[in-house]
Amino acid sequence: MNTLPTDLTTLAEAVIKRAASFGFTIATAESCTGGLISSCLTSVPGASETFQCGFVTYSNEAKTRLLGVPVDAITDFGAVSDIVASAMAEGAVAHSGADLAVSVTGIAGPGGGSTDKPVGLVYLSLAQTGEDAVIKRYVFAGNRDDVRRSAVGAALELMHSGLEERRQSAEEENGS
């Protein structure tokens, strides 16, 4: 049996292949998924050509220290918020030198949920040099493991589509 689920490693392989074929480098910034996205990406042989690094910023202090997420953003909007998700992704690009980074912050449970922010709430963000960050909001069903797994799948999908969009933008710029 493989250490990681094959549906996720297959998706990760598609991301690595696309990044490599376009010549883009990538990075990750993970809170609730705790390194699962980078684990999937690095399960692919040759990932080192494109995957630079991952930041597993689990504590709020780590989000600020490693990624430069403003303390005020965490205090005012909470660690699980669109603002913090985009600051994490932008911080990952800035602190890694990669072309593109995905971030995840969410409430995997079983504790930590509230009426406004239920267990399963996850924000993803995709940031890249020279572009505004994209933010996605989800509420995933299931237990802690289900939420984390769903978030990893969605993050890899976001990275996969983001890479194609970046290539198209680059082509348009070169063609104009």
Binding site for a copy of itself (CB under 8 A): 1-5, 8, 28, 30, 32-39, 41-43, 45-48, 51-59, 61-62, 65-66, 95-97, 109-111, 144-145, 148-149, 152
| Distance in angstroms between the alpha carbons of the first and the last residue of the chain | 50
Q: Is the Cβ of residue 59 or residue 114 nearer to a copy of itself in the bound state?
A: 59
Least distance (Å) between residue 57 CB and a copy of itself: 5
Q: Which helix (H) or strand (E) holds 131?
A: none
Q: Is the Cβ of residue 149 or residue 166 nearer to a copy of itself in the bound state?
A: 149
Q: Is the Cβ of residue 56 or residue 165 nearer to a copy of itself in the bound state?
A: 56
Least distance (Å) between residue 60 CB and a copy of itself: 9
Least Cα distance to 80 among 60, 51, 105 occurs for 105
Q: Is the Cβ of residue 30 or residue 126 nearer to a copy of itself in the bound state?
A: 30
Q: How far is CA 36 from CA 43, 90, 127, 156, in A?
A: 10, 19, 19, 11
The pair of structure tokens assigned to 127 is: 């940031």
C-alpha–C-alpha distance, residues 145 and 56, integer Å: 17
Q: Is the Cβ of residue 143 or residue 168 nearer to a copy of itself in the bound state?
A: 143
Least distance (Å) between residue 174 CB and a copy of itself: 27
Match 């990760």 to its residue by tokens: 12
Least distance (Å) between residue 3 CB and a copy of itself: 5
Least distance (Å) between residue 76 CB and a copy of itself: 20
Buried b (16+ CB within 10 A) or exposed e, 123-146: bbbbbbeeeebbbbeeebeeeeee
